[in-house]
Structure 1
Amino acid sequence: MLLSHTFTRGDPLTFSFPHLPLATTYRARLFVEDGLAVDNEAYAVLPALTNVPVLLVTPSPDVDKSLGQIPNLKLERIPPQDYDPAKAARFPLVLFHLTAPDTLPPTNAAFILPPEGNAPFPLGKATSQLQVTQWATAHPLTAYVTFSLL
């Protein structure tokens, strides 16, 4: 057994092990007396990892050093002035850092800190008295959002 989690009455029913060692198969077992033992064990089998080519478009030459630490990510970095939609189409993902093209690329894209006044995502009117009514802290999309800063 690598890791374990003990539930007590009233605990949330979701939890995570954020730093599991890399493996191809994981097994989860519940140690409970509930009359149906067959549903107390589950397996997760991961596919073989392959390199994912990513085009990184950024004016910053050092960004690829940190992103290059992600296993199986094969980065090719170019400055914004060298961006070409035809080249971008050959990648499953294009990351735009501190820049944005005039039109969306013909492939999947993510934008990290796009500049103000960019064509794909123009800013609308400013608002005040923003009120966040609900969010899921365990959801991957909001895991690193600090809502108190909004």
Structure 2
Amino acid sequence: MTRIEQALSQQGIELPETAAPVGAYVPALRVGEFIYTSGQLPFVDGQLVTIGLLGDEVDVEGGYDAARTAAMNALAAVRSLTGDLDLIEQIVKVTGFVASTPSFTDQPKVINGASEFFGEFFGKRGEHARSAVGVAALPMGSPVEIELIVKVRSDI
């Protein structure tokens, strides 16, 4: 077990297997030293943890938790290519999409669920650039979707 996975385990977190794509794409793709993930939803055991729009059916806390879960799924997609999370040199960019009502403006607070997760387990390597974007709807009614750009060691 890698150091990152041991730290996750100590907090009671076990990364899932990478979700099978529901369309014509791959969960993650490596190009040189970078891994790009497809958008990851907050699935646990094949089910969305919550459904709905922020500012309506889902509150900021529920969105935050969903973003954290989606971040775990994105990390699992990275692991599917590296086999070892300790090979991550830097979480470079997090893009978070938040399904929300037109009047909802706390998208950054929601996506903090992902950002703080990476900071907690990767420290300085978890610091990243970020976008938190409000959208009208996401696949299957998900309240959030997270995608990553991660730099990995070049010798793998």
Give TM-score scaled by structure 2 length. Answer: 0.23
Tell me which protein shows more helix as a share of its residues: 2
**Pair member with larger Rg:** 1
Structure of higher RCO (CA pairs closer than 8 Å, 6+ residues apart): 2
Q: Which TM-score applies when normalising by structure 1? A: 0.24
